[in-house]
Amino acid sequence: MAAPLLYAIHTRFFDHDTGYGHPERPARLRAVDDGIDAAGLRAAIVPVVPTPADLDALARVHPPLYLRAMEEFCAKGGGYIDGDTHAGAASWEAARLAAGAGLDVVRRLESGEGRVGFCAVRPPGHHATVDRAMGFCLINNVAVTAADLAARGERVAIVDYDAHHGNGTQ
């Protein structure tokens, strides 16, 4: 039998509104989920419904002032932050859930519930810098998980295999 795969996804990720025609859209997650079924992997999956990362976890990576500004921006309906990065009213919750997905999967891996984890999240996170949203990313969810592990004395390496530089995790 294959090793159990912890698979984190949340319905609220589909509510992150990037605007018509934006390349970072809900169809990305639908394609991942469809691919799991097409590959016959559904039976090997242990579903993980992520919880939102708390502000203390986020503040290990992003200053509280930045986090408050992002939350307020989204609460007011959002808009374009730069030419690539859009946030809507539901984006703050989705971003906190995306960061929480990594934290939740790591905790469950540590407890032995699975041997490998995959987080299908949006918005993505690897381009968000300490104090700036960019490249479709609001919160650097990968860095939040890495910072949590490092704070607990774990050694962490981030291998970013996107088509271009993941500047927020350098």
Q: pLDDT digit string (tens) for 77-116?
A: 999 999 999 999 999 999 999 999 999 999 999 999 999 9
Mean pLDDT calculated for residue range 64-70: 98
Mean pLDDT calculated for residue range 52-78: 98
Mean pLDDT calculated for residue range 70-78: 98
pLDDT at 2 over 60: no
Given 16, 86, 126, 127, which residue is catalytic? 127
Does residue 126 have an active-site annotation? no
Sequence-distant (≥ 6) Cβ neighbours of residue 7 within 8 angstroms: 36, 45, 46, 47, 48, 117, 118, 120
**Of 163, 164, 146, the residue nearest 155 (C-alpha):** 146
Model confidence, pTM: 0.94
Q: Is the peptide bond before 47 cis (omega within 30 degrees of 0)?
A: no
For residue 55, which amino acid is it? L
**Of 91, 103, 102, 106, the residue nearest 136 (C-alpha):** 91
Q: pLDDT digit string (tens) for 112-170?
A: 999 999 999 999 999 999 999 999 999 999 999 999 999 999 999 988 877 777 688 87
Q: For residue 52, what pLDDT is reported?
A: 99
Domains of the chain: 5-169 (3.40.800.20)
Mean pLDDT calculated for residue range 15-20: 92
Q: For residue 20, what pLDDT is reported?
A: 86
